[in-house]
Structure 1
Amino acid sequence: MGSIDNYILRTTLTSFAVVLASLTGVIWITQALRGIDLMTSQGQTIVTFLGLTSMAVPVLVLVIAPIALMIAVAHTLNRLATDSEVIVMNAAGLSPLRILRPFMFAAAVVAMLVTVIGAYVAPEGLRRINRWDSEITADILANILQPGRFAQLETNLTIRVRERQPGGLLVGVFIDDRRDPKERISIIADHGTVLKNNDGSFLVLEDGTLQRFETGKRDPALVAFGRYAFDMSKFSRARDVSYGIRERYLWELIWPPADDPLYARLPNQFRTEMHERLLAPIYPFVFTALTFAFLGLPRTTRQSRNFSIAGTIITVFLVRLAGFACSIAAAGNLWFAGVQYLLLTTTIGLSIWLIAHHVVIEPPARLTEFINSTLASLTRRRLRAAPP
Structure 2
Amino acid sequence: MLSQLTVTFAFFALILVAVYWVNRAISLFDRLISDGQTAWVFLQFTALTLPNVILLVLPVAAFVATLYVTNRVISESEFVVMQSAGMSPYRLVRPALVFGLGVTLVMSILAHVLVPLSRVEIGRMQARVAQDVTAQLLTEGQFLHPADGVTLYIREITERGELRDILLADQSSEKVDVLYLADRALVVRAEEGPQLVMFDGMSQTLRLPDQRLSTVAFKDFSYDLSGFLEEGGIGRPDLRFLPTSELLAASPASRAATGKSRAAFLTEAHSRIAQPFLGLSLAVIGASALLLGGFSRFGVTRQILVAVFAVIALQLLNNLAVDAATTDETMWPTLYMPPIVGLLFALGVLWLAARPALFVRRSADAAPAPEAAP
TM-score in terms of structure 2 length: 0.81
- Offset of residue 110 of structure 1: 1.0
% identity of equivalent residues: 22
Per-residue deviation, residues 140-178 of structure 1 (Å, max 9, x unmatched):
246531334444433333323333222223234332322
Deviating more after overlay: 147-156 vs 175-184: 147-156
Task: After TM superposition, give the deviation of residue 115 of structure 1 in Å.
Answer: 0.7
What is the CA-CA distance between 1:211 and the residue it aligns to? 4.3
In the TM superposition, residue 180 of structure 1 has moved relative to its aligned partner by 1.8
Matches within 5 A, 1:133-172: 133-141=126-134, 144-172=137-165
1:140 & 1:112 partners in 2: Cα distance?
A: 43
Q: Determine which of 274, 277, 285 is the counterpart of 1:282.
A: 277
Matched residue type, 1:56: T
Q: How do 1:251-270 and structure 2 match up within 5 A?
A: 251-257=245-251, 259-262=253-256, 266-270=261-265
Which of 17, 21, 41 does residue 28 from structure 1 map onto? 21
3-state SS, counterpart of residue 237 of structure 2: coil
Q: What do residues 94-129 of structure 1 show as CA deviations (whole Å, max 9, x unaligned)?
A: 332222111112111110111111112112222222
Q: Which residue of 2 aligns with 1:76?
A: 69
- Rounded Cα–Cα distance in structure 2 between residues aligned with 1:21 and 1:281: 18
- Cα distance change on mapping 1:195 and 1:130 into 2, 3 Å: closer
Q: Which runs of 5+ in 1 are unaligned?
A: 1-7, 369-388
What is the CA–CA distance in structure 1 between the aligned matches of 2:103 and 2:309, rounded to whole Å?
22
Are 1:234 and 2:226 an aligned pair? yes
Match of 2:320 among 325, 342, 355: 325
- Tell me, yes or no, if the aligned pair for 1:185 and 1:210 is still in contact at 8 Å: yes
Question: What is the identity, as a one-letter code, of the residue corresponding to 1:231?
Answer: Y
**Secondary structure of 2:152's partner?**
strand
Listed as ranges, the matches of 1:45-56 within 5 Å are 45-56=38-49
- Measure the CA separation in 2 of the matches of 1:137 and 1:17: 37
Matched, 1:123 2:116: yes
Partner in structure 1 of residue 12 of structure 2: 19
Of stretches 321-330 and 154-163 in structure 1, the one that deviates more from structure 2 is 154-163
Shift of 1:243: 2.5
Deviation at 1:62, TM superposition (A): 2.8
Structure 2 distance, partners of 1:155, 1:321, is 42
Residues 1:158 and 1:46: Cα distance change in structure 2 (over 3 Å): farther
Judging changes above 3 Å, is the alpha-carbon distance between structure 1 residues 172 and 84 closer, same or farther for their aligned structure 2 residues?
Answer: farther
Distance 1:292 1:220 in 2: 80
1:295-337 alpha-carbon deviations (Å, 9 max, x no partner): 1458444334222222211110111210121121122335543
- 1:185 partnered with 2:185: no
Under a length normalisation based on structure 1, what TM-score does the superposition of the two structures give? 0.78
Q: Distance in 1 between matches of 2:261 and 2:189?
A: 39
Match of 1:62 in 2: 55
The number of aligned residues is 357
Flag the 1:183–1:48 CA change in 2: closer, same or farther, 3 A. same
From 300, 306, 311, the counterpart of 2:301? 306
Change (3 A) 1:251 1:195: closer
